[in-house]
Structure 1
């Protein structure tokens, strides 16, 4: 115990103050001594001096410090992997890896030896940790974890024992980490030795197995178009065995192929083709039959999510050379489920690269006649010269626009007048007169006209279009044609007709045309908002361009459901959006929209969708109802949306999506000894297998912890100090009262 003062002053000054007060108290009672007895006078003086000393004592804030020392026992943590791969049985009659790990702990009395060294805590782990009693270790028979996150589990275990003397982490696992941070880096940062125990067979050992390892596919395909996927099949310990490979949708087999398994070729690729007949999001599965000699059944199938679309807008894009504007615009158009893109990229004088969103693109020829061009809704000319086309082709494009199509010309050093389009049918349909041409190389921020600010193409920007990153480069055109609308100009460059034009539009016949003289709208993807403004610009432009009469012809369901992504992991947030419109494409008011979600474990989740003016998705469609859902399990989820008005069903739509990979734990089933050894080395621990694990307790060096606890007691704010002060003053006052001194 130690007494100190929080407000200690100069000790000499304090001493003289105390002596001075005692003298002052004595002098104040000197006259009293003549009227009372010596004993009473001494009592009065004593009580007053004590009260003063008590007050003086409190003013300097006295504190009593108590020091206590404790010896804390060391802690040892057992981390037992309970992910699904630990349920693998290496032989037909062999116990699972999890059971083998438990038997190894019991066989060598390892737990008892560890308990003799410190306090042992048991956790089972997969994507996280769960605390268990040591007595329950014999009951941990089920390996149910959907994936393994070793780094997260290590950090969680250390956090559970924060403040305690943790001497070692003992990790029993097959080392098949398939999620989260780098476990080796985590092990080095924890500053706790990790002793790893490998469970499972090494690569090249074990029985027979066939695995659907990987599937390559396009995430979005067109309805009624040939679609091809490629599956990778791995096998071990099979020779000259014929293996059928099926592609299924539910119970329906869509495509089949046969391969011959061989030890000389353990990895094979097989292509499967089919024609999707329905629009929507579906989960397809590649399966191979289970052989009775296989040790792992769960990896004989693999599912994937595929979006089948029926695009409302067919776009034909000609580009004269690879450039940034082409790269970003092509990516934007390909990502929109309502657009079917065909592009022809000129890569040399006689070389043309065909690209697009369907398999048939490679076999397509450049249209020649008005009938062939009319198969498309929008035609885009990029940086491409007039001599790429025949006069008949240019005339056919003019006819296509007159009959209701749309045409866009983008800026470039081979566009507009610089591309020799003066006097051609293309100049006739453009909203600008080309003039002599020319090129501006400097950077600039476009300036919207009054008409541009009011136009639907430039609406709904939270940043303001003029505040976006500067554009760079553009064609000089002479003027806008009568009937055309100028939407944007250069802020300072002029000719005799006014400010130079950046963007103009016009109606031509039954169609629409657009002139964009710059070649750098792609710079808007760097607006700091993930390219939202760039995407919004092109979405709104196409929404304005697309001929209304064709939209009505191609419009399908009254109710459509979409999600913000095609694939998810468990615990991700799924944004579900429903679009409800009538046959004319107009929003239907006062609609009740419900959502039914069928989960992989057979449960149904009923949710109500709320009106929402904005959406997590960016498409040419208008979406107006939304909700969010967080999946807890891996597997296939079926989402059904129904819309009704005044108790009358308007329509419904269904899609399926895949959350994670249900067979992820069975993709790599070998013991990952290398990872486990690295974990041990990085943390200054040691690696063991099931044959040597009995040495583990002797190798662990434990160290307890001496904790010194300091407890302080403030005396100056104690109520007893105040009470004592009052008691002393009261006693003095009582004596003076009885002696008739007051």
Structure 2
């Protein structure tokens, strides 16, 4: 070891140390000087010195002395083997299974031998589909049975498992078919690994030849909609292995056929079709989309998909409070857009100077009084609104009570909050309690906000999540809607943010400016508690009104759809969530729940999932508190019967019981793993690029990877406990023995 330094586990101030160090001999000599039995002076001094040494040793041991230094150690490499079901497909050279090729790469020894030239024996082997499992190099008893593939969770799991070691690179042998994460999440994984200095190396297995399959991949839309309003759904169709064709689509509402339409399918591609209908009354409605099954399809039971929508009684009027840190022209355009909407009561509150505010469009004197001194502090005043817009405020404008009221407004009351303007995303907000509700992480460097890129005009680009979101619905044509929004005039200045938080939907980004996590975020949204939060990082959107023809209503359409989405769809006081709507037989279904009703948030509340299986049998599954806390619960059960299931959460408390909405899912013969089975080479190459790694084909990796790998010599901290040494105990025993011998020889015992 080098640079060794003596430190102590128990830290005391210098005055206290000096006082104790000086006090020990004084106390010991005082006790030995005044003895009952007459003892020679020389004997008293010797005995006092021995006892002082014993006390010093014990005192130093209590301080826990540690010799701290640094030691060079070689870094580790992790090798991950995909064991999901898609690895059983026999589309490798010679009609060999992907899993067989993967095992050969490791068991034949050539690849491992080459890697060991760099890392010696510092290798760890894992299998994964979602969770990781450490295995030995011989891969005994390894089979490909995983029902889905989660690269983000698996790779992060390997990093966490090696937190105490110096992991410097990961080799993953996989077909790259991640059926859990979004493209954005995978991109963030690559950048995250680059930040940790852990490059990702991938060996891709499988064929890029498309197996014949047509899929109704997803139906997305709002969880809740008001009665008599049009319901806009996005239906994702995918086709591979077939030429262009048109197929009939049947649409069912609660198992009743309500419409049939023809859907063009692209060859080896995905297309999103927008479907609009008006629900037949209130309550939970199930909308199912179904296409015919072809005789030569590889997977025959993924040709339908559905969504469950809660149709609620229409509110009389939505109330929105727009709060801005200074009087801006933007408010004028938003006000003109929303104040004429008979379904929206738009109230504005503008800061005109230190401690002075101006309220416009208030409903009554009580509301005027509540807003006279700025943003309200009590919940009753805030609960009058369905949504709140916070535009270009600084943290010093809101006090702790106002912020806590606002957090409660979204989390418990179920209100919607829009964070608008670059001022809302400056680094200082990260230290505010309000940051808890943000759907994005903030940059730490405020100088970025003064850059020419941040101050200039920007063109907005919709992400796949934004393209299918109801905020950006236009005429109902998926492709034309995207073109319409992206053709609008440039927006003015924005606040650079670092990246989206886990669970946030990134709806739009800057067309050109980016950081290490990808293009800068323009708009993001997330559920927070029982409410929702949207972040818009730009300062001005008025160009969508000022720089277009008078007949163009894009600006008005955007704000009205944003406000309605933000305010009309509240989550329940007891919420339920499952990760998808389709499972394979014998697959584990994970159920998550959350309690937002304050009266139910205590240890006396019992939470269970009530599941009705296809045979009509009621199953009760107890949910336990999750590690996330905040009155969230989780549970699992194995779906062992093919067909449709219904599930809801029941929360029981001595004072009352509450239930969540009822949701549906289907259990099918085949796994999610076979819904997309083509080698995802482009996705793996993207991950290697963002993480500074490299992509290999099975036949190319041996003989090449050794030159690409970089062993890192890491200095790790090494602590040697001096107080825990056996020599301490030996010294104390020897000193006590010496004292006993002296006492015995002098007749003092």
Larger Rg: 1
* Structure 1 length-normalised TM: 0.49
* Structure 2 length-normalised TM: 0.49
